[in-house]
Structure 1
Amino acid sequence: MTPLHDLPHLGSGLGYRREIHQPTMEHRDRIDWLEVISEHYLFASVQGRERLAELSAAFPIVPHGIEMSIGTPGEVDEDYLDALAALVEEIDAPYFSDHLCFTRAGGVSLGSLTPLPRSRALAKELGRKAQRIQERVGVPFILENITYHVDLRTELTEAEFIAELCEHCECGLLLDLTNLHTNARNHGYDAAGFLDAIPTERVVQVHLAGGTEAHETLLDSHSSPVPEPVWALFDELLRRAPLKASLIERDQDFPDDFGELLGEVERARSAMRAAAPA
């Protein structure tokens, strides 16, 4: 198993979406790597596999899951893990990622990334579970923080929960800085304090995206440019720890000018280069 600090430096990437396939391929020289949604390719059609082959011939690729549901009690489905391991091997992915949440309960899909009851016991259980998944797939597993609209009173804060989980596994973190900014703003806590409380040396990758606001609440819609407070958090994180990868996410309301996304990719790349040790 490759240690986190020995993972390749991927640079500044873009979340792949079929709606922007053509400009993504046309501007491959300005995008360092791509993140694909794992579930789109685990049991893909012939057309899907051909698209994946085209992408992997042009870019390094990391699979990012949305349906593992690590927080659901019990073990993750073996067929899912078999398919995920095969996907990782097929595209020679350096690591894979998914969300620290649950998406299924009682065998029913919830249709959303649902926050966990943040207890010390659950952090320990999920840390051990994540370690087993990592060993099963064969490359490092990195876990992403999510947004939540209701912050239930729990034993641990989100940052404490993440730190406790990391005590029980060797997995890395995918720190979604937009999610951090959104939660900090909506629930009234200090985002820099969150960074103080987590093991930033475990952060392998970040997500950068823009959202919307409704009724004085920020929504993580991935539908607009990365806002300045998120860029400021990115700079703050880079002062604390080196990163292997950054990623611009856009899921809807794609700009007519693809140069807008390329500009964000370049801004992230420049920030990472400026923060790199001499």
Structure 2
Amino acid sequence: QMTEWEFLNEVVHAADCGILLDVNNIYVSSRNHEFDPMEYVNSIPADRVAQIHIAGHSQFERYTLDTHDHPVLDPVWALYARAIERCGPTATLLEWDDNIPTFDEVHAEALKANRFLQPVSVEEAVA
């Protein structure tokens, strides 16, 4: 028995490969499987993260689903901020696959992600 992040660490070490870190997926899984998502982000080998994905998700009565159809929520931004803190500025993909809003709305969300890549506090980036 091992956690998902322990398994990921083993695979990355054995395969000598990089990681696409999907922080929205980490958050969604943490809600559905009751673990601390920050522990996951804190436990991955930061030097192996080649790209980070952020997205929105949907909350249903009994589960959370990684739907990529909403803006990124604050808990996911917090995980993203921590990942950037650990990994440094990293290529980031904003995933928005359904219920796509106007270009200006998506662009604003992408620009918000860019603020996390600058040397500012988390509070300033979220604002």
Q: TM-score range by the shorter chain?
A: 0.7 to 0.9
- Structure 1 segments unaligned to the other structure (5+ residues): 1-154
Q: Please say if 1:216 is aligned against 2:57.
A: no
5 Å-filtered alignment, 1:3-22, equals: none
Instruction: Write the deviation string for residues 237-266 of structure 1: whole angstroms up to 9, x where unpaired.
Output: 1111214301110111011x2111101111
CA RMSD of aligned residues (A): 1.3
User: Is the CA contact (8 Å cut-off) linking 1:177 and 1:230 kept in structure 2?
Assistant: yes
Query: What is the TM-score normalised by the length of structure 1?
Result: 0.42
TM-score, normalization by structure 2: 0.88
CA distance in 2, matches of 1:170, 1:215: 40
Large movers: runs of 4+ above 2 Å = none
What is the CA–CA distance in structure 2 between the aligned matches of 1:264 and 1:274, rounded to whole Å? 18
Aligned residues of 1:204 and 1:243 also touching (Cα < 8 A) = no
In terms of fraction of residues, the more strand-rich structure is: 1
Percent same amino acid at aligned positions? 36
**Distance in 2, Cα, partners of 1:274 & 1:234:** 14
Residue type at the aligned position of 1:264: E
Q: Aligned residue for 2:91?
A: 245
Q: Within 5 Å, which residues of 2 pair with 1:95-134?
A: none
Choose 1 or 2 for highest CA Rg: 1
User: 1:77-127: CA deviations, max 9, x gaps?
Assistant: xxxxxxxxxxxxxxxxxxxxxxxxxxxxxxxxxxxxxxxxxxxxxxxxxxx
Task: Identify if the C-alpha distance between structure 1 residues 243 and 168 changes in structure 2 by more than 3 Å, giving closer, same or farther.
Answer: farther
Segments of 5+ residues of structure 2 without an aligned counterpart are 121-127
- Residue of structure 1 equivalent to 2:123: none
Higher helix share: 2
TM-fit CA distance, 1:274: 2.3
- Contact residue 212 and residue 224 of structure 1 kept, 8 A: yes
Larger RCO (CA under 8 A, 6+ residues apart)? 2
